[in-house]
Amino acid sequence: GVATVFAASIVEISHFGFGGESPAIVYDAKSKRSVVINGQGPAPRAATPALFAAKGKVDSNGPLGATVPAMLDAMAIALSEFGTLRLEQVMAPAIELADGFPMYEFLRHHLTRERKNSEPYASTMRIYYPGGRIPEVGEMFRQPELARTLRAIVDAEKAAWSKAKDRKAAIQAGRDAFYKGEIARRDRKSTRL
């Protein structure tokens, strides 16, 4: 299930993405217990009511319309508490897809509809409209920056695993690479919040 969510966050970006939210319900058949993992991020600390009052609105797109990405956190909890695999294993398909997958019709239509909303954001245009165009159906769509981010998370997990052979600690190290490491510092600079 966690591997599926990671993979879907790469190819179903019309619905959610790796930097988004992913609430989850996990049913443990052994204990006959259901657990809800919130999977919804908080607003960034600097996103105060005063910030939006001055604008007269809350943005629906861009960094001021987003929460802190919670998908990785939710999936790390699900994997750590209810899974048996490591991030390296469950993220492998997502990394492969970030390296490239064939554009499909629904996603192409979505990107066509969202182009005007995306134009104010240079990084969005660079990623989703490479060379200023939307890839044709069947053409490989690549997200190399996202692939690098996923690999950095896996590298942090692998390093922690090689030291202690503790699966939960290794998953936490991968999570921390995203939320506390260089990835977080770089993203804070780019959003200017």
Contacts of 50 (CB under 8 A, 6+ apart): none
pTM: predicted TM-score of the whole model, two decimal places? 0.90
Q: What is the CA radius of gyration of the chain?
A: 18
Residue 187 has pLDDT above 70, yes or no: no
Burial class for 61, CB neighbours closer than 10 Å (0-12, 13-18, 19+): middle
Whole-number Å distance between alpha carbons of 8 and 6: 6
Q: What is the pLDDT of residues 95-153, one digit of tens each?
A: 999 999 999 999 999 999 999 999 999 989 999 999 999 999 999 999 999 999 999 99
